[in-house]
Amino acid sequence: MNSFKEIKSEAKSLFDKAKGSHDWSHTERVYDLCMHIGKKEGADLGILKLAALLHDVARRQQDESNGKIDHAKEGARLAEEVLRKHKIPLEKVEKIIHCIATHRFRGNAIPESKEAKVLFDADKLDSIGAVGIGRSFLFAGETGAKMHNSKNIDINKTKPYSKEDTAYREFVFKLSKIKDRMLTPEGKRLAGDRHYFMEKFFKRLDKEVAGDL
């Protein structure tokens, strides 16, 4: 258990300069969701605890590179270094880094283990619902985006990390699709309610921005 506390402390220190949309509080929420879903799905909680703590350790690098660095791949590499340093058994390390390497929504790697599927779902759940709305506006502000996309802009031609990378754009291209990408029964159940709330919010936002009173 001492190694867990040490790894948690080291992981947290990597978020000292993290932006608000992917700060340590995101990791804490994902950890809690992993514990909830993991218990429901009968996953190995020992693997999940460490995977959840370390899943976003390379998020800063991705943000600073404007998306050129894949934080899941780089995070798996950094996590392996941390885990080996704390003498976590190799078999356990491999299971943990698989979870981290496959947790990204836009990535091509497929979560194969039960624990990897739980982490994927937990991370995605924190990007939808009320928390997801808040985080999407935080991220838009961090990239210098506007509150909403211009009326004369074709959103399909907009680019990430630009002025048009608004919270609404994130909803259209990613958040609205998350509900149908969930991998566990409990994840799907939780996503349904969060999706409904988020969808209502963005419909209302779109209506008000358009001046439809």
pLDDT per residue as tens digits for the range 189-213: 999 999 999 999 999 999 999 888 7
Residue 1 has pLDDT above 60, yes or no: no
Claim to verify: residue 146 and residue 178 sit in the same structural domain:
yes
CA atoms of 166 and 147, how far apart (whole Å) = 6
In a domain, 118, yes or no: no
Q: Which of 79, 109, 139 is the last residue of a domain?
A: 109
Claim to verify: residue 177 and residue 86 sit in the same structural domain:
no
In a domain, 115, yes or no: no
Q: Which of 81, 109, 137 is the last residue of a domain?
A: 109
Domain that holds residue 171: 127-213
Claim to verify: residue 139 and residue 98 sit in the same structural domain:
no
In a domain, 9, yes or no: yes
Rg of the chain over CA atoms, in angstroms? 18
Claim to verify: residue 104 and residue 146 sit in the same structural domain:
no
In a domain, 19, yes or no: yes
Query: With bands split at pLDDT 50, 70 and 90, how would you rate the model's confidence at 164?
Result: very high
pLDDT per residue as tens digits for the range 33-88: 999 999 999 999 999 999 999 999 988 887 777 767 778 888 899 999 999 999 99
pLDDT per residue as tens digits for the range 169-188: 999 999 999 999 999 999 99
